[in-house]
A and B are shown apart, each in its own frame.
Chain A
Amino acid sequence: MAGLACGGVAVGGCGGASDPAPDAGLRQPRTLGRGRGRVWVGHSGDPASALRAAVAAAGGLGFIPEGGHVVLKPNVAWSRNPQQAANTDPRILAAMIALCREAGAGKITVFEHTIDRPSEQVLAVSGIAAAARGAGADLVYTTAERDFVPVAVTRGKLLTRDTLARTVRDADVFINMPKAKHHSQTGLTLGLKNLMGVIFNRQAWHSGPDLHQYIADYATAVPIDMTVMDASRILLTNGPKGPGKTREPNEVIVSFDPVAADAYACGLFGLSPSDVAYVARAGELGLGESDPANIAIERA
């Protein structure tokens, strides 16, 4: 609970005598400007096949440097099994690791900062640990403050600084792998909201003036090279933790535009981006395309 209620808009790790200047030197996404407003949707009863089809249609993973360090961020906050649709499907994760390896990645790390505890159990029950290890990726899970570094948010409206997991900052490639599901507070939790897993103090956002603006603001600071959204089985009610009703669109959504991915996914729940405020706000900040009318959907 360090860093609670620090006041103002400087949220996150603001405690302690040694408070280094926020790291303003974060890299740009390698895929910046590429495929703005475009999403590639794979459809298959087998999520791994859907993923491969979508990634191939999007042009593959050539942006991964040879021997580079790839960090994958699935949504694995909760102690729920894959059938309960509260976490990223482990089959998609395993397939993604394999694809990264085929594309020449060196070290592949799966990163998560779980909410349920103990973290090892969450990663085990969700099948993520088995998938990551089986595919030869490292598993990094942490709840320790020292594994997060301060970061400046320069393009946001409300948020000016926060924290970022060191693992993500140091990565050569960062791929966001959210789960599409209902969320009691924000309507839906999709890719932009998944980034709350790489900050240290989530609580402070909830007691801040505008959670949706924070989500949008923070997403402008993190270099997201690709978004791979798990919409194979989605949680419709009682999210984000469930248990609740599920539906199986059997889709995997791939995009270089994190806003477009979220905007498309809203449609799976019968909602539009105006119903999920942080998506629209992210569009307003210029992070990507939030108007479904302007989104090009290519089905693989």
Chain B
Amino acid sequence: MKTVRRVSQVCFFALFVLLFFQTNRRVDWASGGMDVAAWGPADLFLRIDPLLGWTALIGSGSLLIPVLVWTLPVVALTLLFGRAFCGWVCPLGTCIDGADRLMRRKKLRRTDREVTRPRLKYYILAGLALTALFGSQLVWVLDPIALLTRGLTLGVFGPLNWVAQAAAGIPGLGWAAQVGSGLFPERPAVFRSGALALLVLAAILAGGYFARRFWCRSLCPLGALLGLLGRFPLFRRRVGAACTACSACGIDCKMGAIGDKGRRTVTSECIFCYSCAELCRQDAIRMIAPGGSRHSMPLDLDRRRLLAGFGLGAIWGVSARAATATRSTRDGASHIVDKHLIRPPGSVAESLFTERCARCGACMKVCPTNGLQPAIAEAGLGGIWTPVLAPRIGECSQNCNLCGQVCPTDAIEAFEIAEKEHLYIGRAAINRSTCIVWESGKQCLVCDEVCSYSTIYWLDEGGGDVTHEDLASGGEGAAGAQALPYVDPARCVGCGICEYNCPAGGPDAAIRVTCDGDKRHLSRAGQKAWQKDNWVDREGKPEFQQI
């Protein structure tokens, strides 16, 4: 059965990796439409994760039935078999088992004593539940599925892509380019500070130096939740009369779940790995056996520490809540945030966004221009690894809605491409000191040329309209050289294609998008209404369209 378990682990891990690589765009060559290339939901593992689902419910304060339904299979598994998910399905568990093997040392580690009473993760879970209640989600940082997905996306995907591209340049390895073109975006994906997420993953795996399944037994909040659900499973480890109390199984148990010299089990820690059953020389252990309480040991959480967990969670939640400065504007209260905090189109309003976003990295992975990057400081400490648009790295492509398609928690709500022209995520502003038209009188119209929404308009130095015919005469000294570009706020949604293509300014382009103009606090209909109210008809430009 150990072999069967390992096969199960490998299969689920392979599925996880497959879905990871399939979180990629697929272009319909006939129509040009794009969707996500996965055979099923690309975020399957995130959806079935009860910790993510249930904290999302707490945070949103509503009973999201579809979310609940997706978590039922794992709940059912846990009610039947306890933490079998950890031992048979969890991809991080598989990584940890693998890493533990690599770090196996010859002598028995001191910490592998009979029952290690790993209760810290329950206190962590308590804290996370409270932060969820206050709407400041920390669970995403510690949930194993989100953590693994994020680490792979931000820390592994980019370097892997770079390796494939480099290999394609080596004579004889051109096939790597063919393989790569299906798996990777056109240019190697780069994620700023991506190694940070990878480091977190590496630190977790490094716990294997101290004890096997260190993360699973001591820290994992999903393990704690499943442990609580699976305290009285239908089937549990049962030791028969043949047992000689030699304690061999207890010393070997990687979860520290076996006590009373091998006869009893802490059911909320047992992951059904079958190591004890195959180790037992008396063959006294049955794993799939109807349970009875005499085989189990109590969980025995310490009340004070539990309260401390709740308390710290509450303190974090309240202080994080109070940490965002706001001021009232004509449009309503606006959060004072970093000007580079540009969210993907279709995102919900900022306070709700940081609650819902799982920091899974799926939107960043699927973004075809690599424009979505992990926030490091822009959204504060609590917003680390949430997606922000960095147009200088990649614009928000006009005919794309992949991020909305792939977001597992509806932090980015799905949207139609036609809606994008009134989903305001920011606004472009021209830096008149570095724009070569404003500053040097040169003729450059790149921002106008590439703008998807016909935003740039031109006025001469006297403020009079300048048409494109006037602009086109070319050469120095012509009337066109004195025309100056302006950004129309009702047309500019903040996609950043101007910033991406601007030839001036180096890293700080002469036209760049800031979150000024972000209108996510309005409903979509509200944003359309705002557009209509602020629309200015301009000659040669498309007219207002009521969609």
Contact = CB atoms under 8 A, between A and B. Distances in A.
Nearest to A207: B503
A1 B471 CA distance: 26
B279 to A, nearest CB: 53
A206 interface: yes
A118 interface: yes
B244 interface: no
A276 interface: yes
18 contacts: A5-B506, A116-B398, A117-B368, A118-B400, A124-B30, A130-B29, A143-B186, A183-B449, A184-B468, A187-B474, A203-B502, A206-B446, A207-B436, A207-B442, A212-B475, A238-B541, A243-B542, A244-B540
A271 to B, nearest CB: 9
A133 interface: yes
Given A182-B468, A207-B503, A124 B449 contact: no
Given A185-B443, A203-B501, A240-B449, A79 B398 contact: yes
Given A125-B32, A241-B450, 5 more contacts: A117-B394, A121-B27, A207-B442, A211-B443, A212-B475
A293 B27 CA distance: 47
A188 B445 CA distance: 13
B193 interface: no
Interface string A114-130: 01111111111110011
Interface string B445-469: 1101111101000000000000011
B334 interface: no
Contacts of A122: 32
A144 B452 CA distance: 23
B470 to A, nearest CB: 10
B504 interface: yes
Interface string A1-38: 00011000000000000000000000000000000000
B397 interface: yes
B508 to A, nearest CB: 12
B475 A277 contact: yes
Given A130-B30, A203-B446, A237 B186 contact: no
Contacts of B503: 4-5, 203-204, 206-207
Contact of A143 (B31, B187, B398, B399): B187
Contacts of B454: 238, 243
B60 interface: no
A184 B449 contact: yes
Contacts of B400: 118, 121
Nearest to B542: A243
Given A146-B169, A240-B449, A243-B542, A124 B473 contact: no
A37 B92 CA distance: 70
A124 B32 CA distance: 4
Contacts of A203: 446, 501-503
A275 interface: yes
B444 interface: yes
Contacts of B174: none
What range describes how many residues of A lie at the interface? 35 or more
Interface string B354-376: 00000000000000110000000
A186 interface: yes
B473 to A, nearest CB: 7
Interface in B88-124: none
Contacts of B83: none
Contact of A184 (B30, B31, B436, B445): B445
Given A144-B187, A238-B468, A124 B395 contact: no
Interface in A109-158: 115-126, 129-130, 133, 142-144, 146
Nearest to A81: B32
A124 B468 contact: no
B368 A121 contact: yes
Q: Which of A182, A203, A204 has most chain B Cβ within 10 Å?
A: A203
Contacts of B397: 79, 116-118, 121
Contacts of A115: 450, 501
Contacts of A243: 454, 542
Given A118-B369, A124-B32, A276 B472 contact: yes
B444 A206 contact: yes
Contacts of B186: 117-119, 142-144
A148 to B, nearest CB: 14
B395 A238 contact: no
A129 to B, nearest CB: 5
Nearest to B469: A187
A138 to B, nearest CB: 13
B474 A186 contact: yes
